[in-house]
Amino acid sequence: MKPIRETLSTANATPTPSAALSPAMHAAPSNGSVIPIRSGTSTIAPTVIAVTSGKGGVGKTNIAVNLSVALGARGARVLAIDADLGLANMDIVMGLAPTYTTAELVRGDAHIDEVLVQGPQNVWLLPGASGQYDLANLTDVQRQDFFTAVDTLEDRFDVVVVDTGAGVGSNAIGFASAAKEIIVVVTPEPTSVADAYGMLKVLCTRCGVRRVKVLTNLVQGEREGEQVFRRLANLAARFLSISLDHIGSVPRDASIGRAVMRGEPAMSAFPTAAASRALEGIAERLLESEDRDERQGAMRLFWRRLLRQEAR
């Protein structure tokens, strides 16, 4: 494998297929000069948040994108990583058309600064490569090069939000278990609750995770959200040695779908919508969490933990 190059001309770049999916999408600018440097006086402790789920169709990617925007609106410099590398679509939800993805990064055809795409607020996206590459299929050398490239971003961001693949595949479990904060998204559907429990079981028994946050999505209101959480928490309490915290509920809201069609995050397109207000509250609670990782090098520790997971 050739090394990841420091520079690369974009003259012969080929846009990804997502560029044709929505008229609202726009090509990414050259980002090398606009990627932030994290302030040494930042009051936000650096942390990594993995957003995952036991099954698809629960709104996980919309949650990850809009939570990133909500955190950015509160002053955090956010790196959003699309870790669903086989079916990546955070760029679509953000209305972006990246020229390069993690596929070019792994191949050595683009530098990390060229792959990053500036999104709304203080959010930068590391886009995945849909249908091209999966971390589980990379060689050890490719995986190490990928993590080494991302490691260079440690002092540029306050928060990393990782959108994992759905389910209990090695990719999703590896990213989720390495993060400081794990958010499992669950809906009122019995299949979603059952699959969320399956995700918790794997995280607990295989990876030794002892604490997880639960976000109830697509609920009719706070009461239903609490009921869904209680069903999941009761299951976990009976059979698993894991502690669950209900980080909040996001109501079923038609503005989410309308925002996707417009090629904008709902937090940007409909900031006063019920779902957007709920996500604002969740972002605030995450920033106030006493579980935040205050250690220097917290993000580098995330990648080292992930490497250990992948090496098993």
Q: Residue type at 278?
A: A
Q: State the pLDDT at residue 62.
A: 97
How many Å is the Cα radius of gyration of the chain?
18
Write down the pLDDT at residue 39. Answer: 55
Amino acid 40: pLDDT: 54
With beta carbons less than 8 A apart as the criterion, state whether 197 and 156 touch.
no
Domains of the chain and CATH, by start: 43-311 (3.40.50.300)
Beta-bridge partner residues of 213: 183, 245
Ranges under pLDDT 50 in the chain: 1-33, 133, 295-296
Crossing angle of helices 60-73 and 274-288, in 10° steps, is: 70
**In whole angstroms, what is the distance from residue 276 CA to residue 155 CA?**
29
pLDDT of residue 154: 74
Q: Which residues of 267-303 are buried (b: 16+ CB within 10 A; e: fewer)?
A: bbbbeebbbbbbbbebbeebbebeebbeeeebbbbbb
pTM: 0.83
In angstroms, the CA 68 to CA 124 distance is 9
Q: Which residues of 163-197 are buried (b: 16+ CB within 10 A; e: fewer)?
A: bbbbbbeebbbbbbbbbbbbbbbbbbeeebbebbb
Cβ atoms of 54 and 199 within 8 Å: the answer is yes
Q: Yes or no: say if 52 and 67 are a contact pair by the CB < 8 Å rule.
A: no
Is 201 in contact with 239 (CB distance < 8 Å)? yes
Q: What is the pLDDT of residue 33?
A: 39
